[in-house]
Amino acid sequence: MAWSKNWDMTSYFPEFGGAAYQTHLQELQRSMEQLETDSKAAGRMATDNLDAWVELFLLNEKIMGDFSHVASYVGCLASAEVGNEAYKQAEAQISKFGAIYSKSLATIVDALKAVDDATFDALLRRPELEGAGFFKLRMRQNAIKTMSPEQEVLTAELGVDGMSAWGRLYSETSGRLRFDLPGADQPTPMSMKVSLLESPDAAVRKAVLENSNAAWDEVSYVTAAALNAIAGTRLTLYGKRGYDGFLEKPLHDAAVSAETLDAMWGAVEVNRTVAWSYLKKKAELLGKPALGFEDLSCPLPQGAEKKCSWDEGVDLVLSAFNARYPALGEFAESMIANNRVESEQRTGKRPGAYCSGTLKNRESRVFMNYGGGLGDISTLAHELGHAFHNFVMKDKRPMAARFPMTLAETASTFAERILQNELLENPAASKAEKLQVLTTRLNDAAVFLCNIHMRFVFEKAFYTERQQGEVSVSRLKELMLQAQRQCYGDALDPESLDPMFWASKMHFYITGVSFYNFPYTFGYLFSLGLAADVGQHGADGMRQYEELLKLTGTDTCEGVAQRALGIDLASGEFWERAIDPIRDDYELFQQLLDDE
C-alpha cells in the first residue's frame, strides 16, 4: 500500500492564518486576560472563596488545551519549513502568548505560594477538580520556587526576546546549515546527517562527520552564544527563585528524585562495559583497531543493511505491532492512514524527530526525516509509541494528561522494542537480518548507556563552569571530549571523537527544559524492565501496561512504578536487572557470529 510521506494539519485549523486560526488566537488571549482579571478579583485563597478558585482552575485547564493546540500546530509547521517567514513570526507570537500566559498565572501562583495546608487540602477535595490532585500539588511546589508576581511577569515578557529567541535562532541556523560531500552536486542539508552516518561506506561516514562539523565550526560563535545565553538565563533565574543547584529544577520537571537518578547512573557506570565490549567487537568486524565517532550507528557487513522504501518501512512497523500488540497496530495504522506523519527528507526541514500532541482534540503528529535504514524504521516506531501514549490518555482531563519526559520515553522505547522483537524472532528472518536487528539494538544500548550519559556529564560540567562566566568555544570542545572519553572509555579511537557534538545536538538548545538527556536512559531502561515483565502475560500484560501509562499524569516516576508494578526505583537492583536484556542481546549477537 502507498502511504503518504506528508502530514495533513487541517484538523487543527483549516488553513494557517485563516478565520478559525485567528479566532482561536483571539479567544485564547481573551481567556488569559480573563484569568488574570478574575484571579486578582478572587482575593487570597481561603476556604470561604474556593468556588471562585475552582472556576479559575477550570478556566486555566481550558487555556492549557487551547494553548497546546496552537503551539503544537505552529511548531509542526515551522519544523517542516524552517525558511517560512510567516511560520517564524507565528512562533514568535506563540512565545509572546507564553509570556501573556505566565502573566495571567502570576496571581494564581502567588496564591498557591501563600495558601495554608488546610485550605489547599480542601481545594484538592473539590469534586470539580477530581483527578487533578497531582497537577495542583506540582503547581504548588513550583509556586514555592518563584519570585514576586511582578518579577515573574517581567521574566516572562523578557523571555520572548531573550532565551526563547536564542532557541529560535539555533533552530533557524540548524535548518539553514549545509555541508559539502565529495561527489554531491549540491550542499547537503544538515537534516540528512543522521541517516548518512548509517552508511555502510566508511569514507562517506568520515566525510559526513568531518564536513558537517566543519559547517558547525563556521557558526560556532552563534551556537556558543546561544548556549551560554540560555544557560546563563536559567542559572540567574534558579538563584532568584531559590533552587538548590541547577539540577533541582530538571529533576522536578522529570518527576524523579536525585536518589533514583543516582541509582540509575550508578548501575550504568558499573554495567556499561557490555556496551564497550560490543563497540570493540564492532570495530573488529569492521576491520578497524577502534571505532571513530562516525561509526557508532553504522551497519555491519555481517548484517548488511537493506534499505526500505517508506511504504516498506511503514508496513514493517504495522506488521510487528499487529502481531504483538494489536491495539498499538490499529492505532499506528490510523495515524499513518490519516496523514499524521511527516517523514519526507527534503531541504528546509529541521533535523531530528519528535511527536507533538494537543490537549484540545487529543490528536498527535509525528515528525521525522526518513532515510530508509533500520534506524529510521525504529524511529518511526519510537515516535508512534509517543503518539499511542497520548491516545491512551485521551479520556484523562488535561490536568491529568501531562506527564514528565521520563515516563513519556517509556512508551516510545516500549514500541521500538516490540518492533525489534518481532524482527528478531521471525523464523523466516535470515542470520544477516537478525544481525542487523541486533546491531541496531546494541547500537541503541551504546547510545543510552554511553552517549546519553556523555550528554549528561557534558551538560553538568558546562553548567558548573557557566556559573563562573561564559564558556568559550574551545572550552566547550574540551568539555565535550572529556565527557566522551569518560563515557566511552577505550571503546573509541581517541583521535576520532566529536568535539562539535555540543553544537550539533539540538537537545542542548531546547529552551523549555534543561538536561534533555537523562530521561531517555530512564525511559529506555524502565521499558526494558517493563517489557520483560508484562511481555510474559500476553493480553493481560498489555492491559497492565496501558494502566501504567494512564497513571503517568498522576504521580511521580517512583509513585507510578510502585503503584503499577511494585518497583522501588531508588534501588540500584531494578536498574541492574533492566540491563540484563542488553547482555542477552550481546550473547546472541556473538553466537550468530560464531555460527558463521
Last residue within a domain, chosen from 161, 187, 221: 161
- At 82-100, the pLDDT tens digits run 899 999 999 989 988 988 8
Q: Which of 453, 31, 551, 475 is nearest to 255 (CA)?
A: 551
Residue 82 DSSP SS3:
coil
Highest mean pLDDT among 214-223, 432-441, 545-554: 214-223
Non-local (6+) Cβ contacts of 95 within 8 A are 159, 160, 164, 165, 168
Answer yes or no: is pLDDT of 268 > 90: yes
- Tell me: pLDDT of 303 over 60: no
**Which distant-in-sequence residues (6+ apart) come within 8 Å of 350 by Cβ?**
78, 79, 80, 82, 171, 174, 175, 191, 367, 506
Assigned domain for 232 exists? no
Residues 6+ apart with CB under 8 A from 451: 296, 487
Q: Is residue 176 part of a domain?
A: no
Q: Which of 38-42, 186-190, 339-343, 443-447 has the highest mean pLDDT?
A: 339-343
Q: What is the pLDDT of residue 535?
A: 62
Residues 529, 534, 540, CA angle at the centre, nearest 5°?
165
CATH number for 39: 1.20.140.70
pLDDT of res. 301: 81
- Residue at 152 is within a domain: yes
The model's pLDDT over 23-34, given as tens digits with 9 standing for 90+, comes to 999 999 999 999
Whether the per-residue pLDDT at 356 is higher than 70: the answer is yes
- Do the domain assignments include residue 221? no
Bridge partners for 189 per DSSP: 178
Task: Decide if 154 is inside a domain.
Answer: yes
CB 74 within 8 A of CB 91: yes
pLDDT tens readout for residues 127-169: 999 999 999 999 999 999 999 888 988 998 898 899 999 999 9
Does residue 481 or residue 183 have the better pLDDT? 481
**What's the average model confidence in pLDDT over 39-52?**
93
Domain boundary among 161, 182, 207: 161
Beta strand 341-342 pairing with 188-189: unpaired
The pLDDT value recorded for residue 530 is 84
- For residue 79, is pLDDT > 70? yes
357 has pLDDT over 90: yes
Average pLDDT of the residues of the chain = 93
Q: Check residue 426 and give its pLDDT.
A: 87
Q: What digits encode the pLDDT tens for the residues 158-190?
A: 988 999 999 999 999 998 999 999 888 899 999
Percentage with pLDDT > 70 across the chain: 98
**Is residue 279 within 8 Å of 587, Cβ to Cβ?**
no
Question: In the prediction, which pLDDT does 305 show?
Answer: 62
- Check residue 544 and give its pLDDT: 84
At 436 the pLDDT is: 85
- Paired residues of 417 in beta bridges: none
- Given this model, what pLDDT does residue 52 score? 95
Residue 304 in this model has a pLDDT that exceeds 60: no
DSSP calls for 408-457: HHHHHHHHHHHHHHHHHH-TT--HHHHHHHHHHHHHHHHIIIIIHHHHHH
- pLDDT band at residue 14 using 50, 70 and 90 as cut-offs: very high
Can you give the pLDDT at residue 538?
65
pLDDT at 536 over 80: no
| Residue 576: domain span | 310-442+517-594
Q: Give me the number of domains the chain comprises.
A: 2
Decide which of 144, 161, 178 is a domain's last residue.
161
| Cell numbers found for residue 270 | 558499573
CATH number at residue 585: 1.10.1370.30
**Residue 435 located in a structural domain:** yes
Residue 74 lies in a domain: yes
For position 266, what pLDDT does the model report?
A: 97
Is 387 among the domain residues? yes
